[in-house]
Amino acid sequence: MLPYRALTRALPCRAVKIIREYSRPMTRPDWRKSKPPITIFRLYLLIKYIMYTPIISPTKLLHSMILYNICETDWYYAYVYIKFYGLQIYLHEHKDYTMLKADGIQDAIYHFKYA
């Protein structure tokens, strides 16, 4: 986790304020039910694009930490599993039908069929 000072230098102040507000369950009791402004899939695509561009950026460390944390989620596991092995094998192995509604899973299914 980045210290607060590193976040304020790397991100705009409005973004830091939103992160601070959404990370406090006491001030926002509905924080688990709120819809995030960006899905994990869209954030993954954005960060992956930024990481693999040849532009040197002072926020590369922040981006790599975000990408690492995304790779630790259940969504990413399902996304990669479906992308390489297909939906049928994923459902046979895990029986997790709720993940099918997640953003990006249809992209993984398409990639498996046509790549």
pLDDT in tens, 72-115: 999 999 999 999 999 999 999 988 888 888 999 999 999 998 86
32 in a structural domain: yes
**Residue 78 CB neighbour total at 10 angstroms:** 21
In the structure encoding, which two tokens stand for residue 54, read together? 């040849």
105 in a structural domain: no
- Among candidates 99, 92, 94, which has minimal Cα distance to 41? 99
pLDDT in the model for residue 96: 82
**Residue 29 CB neighbour total at 10 angstroms:** 9
Predicted confidence band of residue 43 (pLDDT cuts 50, 70, 90):
very high
Domain count, the chain: 1
Q: What is the mean pLDDT of residues 2-18?
A: 67
Q: How far, in Å, CA of 4 to CA of 7, rounded?
A: 5
Domain residues for the domain of 12 are: 1-37
13 in a structural domain: yes
pLDDT in the model for residue 61: 85
23 in a structural domain: yes
